[in-house]
A = this chain, B = another copy of it.
Amino acid sequence: MLFGKGQIASITAEIPASAKILVTYGGGSIKTNGVYDQVMSAVAGRQVMEFGGIEPNPRLETLMKAVELVRNEGIDFLLAVGGGSVIDGTKFIAAAVPFTGDPWDILAKTAPVKDALPLGVVLTIPATGSEMNTFSVVTKWETKDKLAFSSPLVYPRFSVLDPETTFSLPQKQIANGIVDAFTHVMEQYLTYPAHAPLQDRMAESILKTLIEIGPKTLADPKDYDARAIFMWCATMALNGLIGVGVPQDWSTHDIGHELTALHGLDHAQTLAIVLPSTMSVRRSSKWQKLLQYAERVWGIVDGTEEERVNEAIASTRNFFESVGVRTRLSDYGIGRETIPIIVERLEKRRQVALGEQQDVNPQVVEEILQLCG
């Protein structure tokens, strides 16, 4: 992790001198905010090609063009410059290039990744944690399937986190990043007690810091310290640290991915919609952790257990709303007719036993989505 202002320059020493590099990026905002220039200056004199246009929720169809380019040009190092979508897309490219057969099988059939190109990251959107983990989520546009894979071979060789690269981001992306990081923690934390008090406290540390710093970094985008703290929270939220040895949920993500695939919602918007309802519907199996979350994260100690749980769920929803991410399907013009479609899609893909206790069956998914209305 190369953290701090000006750190993009240090990638020069991190990429082998003889490497043939492909710089990957998204919609091109890096060309207007100076990041592109900093990157190109750091790899000046190297063999460099570029591949732009990786979309949010990166599409298989787009990424396969990059795979072809890499194969044809003999590129042997990938440098992802962007947010989670660019990084996830680049991880897929890295694994797909040496893959024999249809690379979509890596996600659709969990075909093992046996080899991958090395990749580095220059992070410009704090949110997904992809800069410090082995995960990647890709969407097959043709069938609207949004699926994930994981492999240690696509773990970034280095990641640059320069808070200044985020100063020019739209507020919406920061707000989304706050919700994304917060929900990543919740998926690993809000389950059931598992003799892991240190992981619990570290998860609570991230949540409390996000609650404290989120509004601050939204209010003043050029507050370097606030942006740096937020950036580090987002990375720590999903780099494996708080999830070691504990049960994990991830059903909010599984359901949310369907909303993105079907309706084009931002990833974080889907989480803001699904998480509060998940907490509400599945409260009995998460009871102890909900009470702990209420007390330690929100300082809720008065009232009956039920009142505290309700207040904690309401606080979560209010927090998402307060940073500007709406939490109802209706806020996005989505009606209840989507519910049976989502349930059917999950069933078709045999995603019928979600959550930390594999008890989030189609009926529970429906109940959760009904509450999201």
Contact = CB atoms under 8 A, between A and B. Distances in A.
A205 interface: yes
Contact of A197 (B196, B204, B213): B213
B198 A229 contact: yes
Contacts of A341: none
A255 to B, nearest CB: 29
A208 interface: yes
A7 to B, nearest CB: 12
Interface in A221-264: 225, 228-229, 232-233, 236, 241, 244-245
Given A201-B205, A205-B201, A195 B225 contact: yes
A5 to B, nearest CB: 12
Nearest to A236: B198
B209 A201 contact: yes
Contacts of A198: 205-206, 209, 229, 232-233, 236
A241 B241 contact: yes
A141 interface: no
Contacts of A197: 209, 212-213, 229
A3 interface: yes
Contacts of A236: 198
Contacts of A195: 225, 228-229
A241 B205 CA distance: 13
Number of copies: 2
Interface in A183-208: 195-198, 201-202, 204-206, 208
Contacts of A208: 201
A245 B228 CA distance: 10
Nearest to A213: B197
A213 B201 CA distance: 13
Nearest to A245: B3
Contacts of A196: 229
Interface string A149-166: 000000000000000000
Interface in A282-299: none
A3 B229 contact: no
Interface string A49-61: 0000000000000
Contacts of A228: 195
Contact of A205 (B3, B202, B212, B232): B202
25 contacts: A3-B244, A3-B245, A4-B245, A195-B225, A195-B228, A195-B229, A196-B229, A197-B212, A197-B213, A197-B229, A198-B206, A198-B229, A198-B232, A198-B233, A198-B236, A201-B204, A201-B205, A201-B208, A201-B209, A202-B202, A202-B205, A204-B205, A205-B205, A232-B245, A241-B241
The 9 A-B pairs with the shortest beta carbon distances in the complex, nearest first, are A201-B205, A195-B225, A198-B209, A202-B205, A197-B209, A202-B202, A205-B205, A198-B232, A198-B233
